[in-house]
Each structure stands twice: as C-alpha cells, then as structure tokens.
Amino acid sequence: MRLNVLFASATLAAALPYIPSPKEKQSRDHAILKALAGTYSLVNTSSSLNGVKIPDEPYGEHPVGILTYSASGWMSATITATEPWLRPNLTFPFQANDTDRDWALVGKHGIGYAGPFRISDAIPANETDGQVFHGPLTVANVPTWVGANHRRNYTIIEREEEGKVAKYLKIGSERGGGYRGVLLWKRVD
C-alpha cells in the first residue's frame, strides 16, 4: 500500500506545473528585463481583425516610433503616422488659430504612453520569448489608458547584418474586439 501512495504522489507531482521559488522568479525576471533593455526604432507594423489582415489606419502606411525598456522595469512607447495629410503643421503649445480638427487628426494617428513593465506568468517566459505587461501606465495620451495594464507578447530576434549582430524585437498586441497588431522594432541603443 505504501508503494502505491508513493507512486501516486510522484505521478501527481510530475503532472503539476513547475512553480519557481520567489528567488528563482526574481532571477529569471531580472535576466529577461536585462535582455529586453534598450531603445528600439519602429521598423513596421501590421494589423488584423479576427485573423484577417487590415490596413493599420491608426499609424498610417509609414509610421515612426521609439520603444524604450529599462533594465529596472520602466518603459515608454511613442508611435505616430508620417503622412502629411495626417500631420498638419502644428506647434506646441497649441496656438489660438489652430483648429480642433487638426489637433484631433494628430491625436487620432499617434500613441504615446509610459510606465512600469513586468514579466507575465501567463505563459512561459525567457530571454527571447514571453509576455510582458506595460503598466499600470502612469502616462498616456489616451486618458483611459492611464492606470491600465496592456499585455504584449515578445520575441527577440538576432540576425547578422553587415558583419554585426542586429537585435530586433517583435511585439504582439491584442487590441480588443478581435483587433491584433504586430510591431517590429530594431534596437538602436
């Protein structure tokens, strides 16, 4: 009988997921934050709705952006369209003769946010693949994003270019309502 109980316990233990100790998790998270740390320039974006590719209307056809992750767990992202018809000639601060319509157009075709980020435990994560949460966001140009958490899947891709190793970061973004975005960033620092 004792052998059956030991065998059943061993089988049950093998079937349970491995849960790292707090120290192991802290060490893993530190290694992932260090691997992600850097400044990245946007290479391209793509969008889909319920798995069907659609134009990436918020950012236009040739967006620019910067994504920064710190090894201590902070991030900032800015993306904007570049087409002149989506970027009226405005200055900051706004001027009395600026139109609300022009400012609305700029706001509609750009995003900027910042705050802490952390490693998600929803899926296995390591230094090249996993999931992070941006947030709770402390700054965002979209008011409803302040205080929110945004899940992002990541994949780090390294490839040789002109005799050097270039580092790319692929970010998957679930946007709700069946919308999904994939953004490719190249590390510049």
Tokens of 187: 């590390």
What CATH architecture is 22-187?
Beta Barrel (2.40)
Q: Say what the pLDDT of residue 6 is.
A: 46
Q: How many helices (H) and strands (E) does the chain have?
A: 3, 10
Instruction: In whole angstroms, give the CA distance from residue 80 to residue 42.
Output: 10
**pLDDT tens, the chain, 189 aa long:** 554 544 444 555 555 665 668 888 899 999 999 999 999 999 999 999 999 999 888 889 999 999 999 999 999 999 999 999 999 999 999 999 999 999 999 999 999 999 999 999 999 999 999 999 999 999 999 999 999 999 999 999 999 999 999 999 999 998 889 999 999 999 999
CA distances from 181 to 23, 116, 126, 141 (A): 34, 21, 22, 19
Closest CA to 130 of 41, 25, 51, 21: 25
Q: What is the pLDDT of residue 5?
A: 47
Task: For the chain, report the end-to-end CA distance as a whole number of angstroms.
Answer: 62
pLDDT score, position 56: 83
pLDDT at residue 98, rounded to an integer: 94
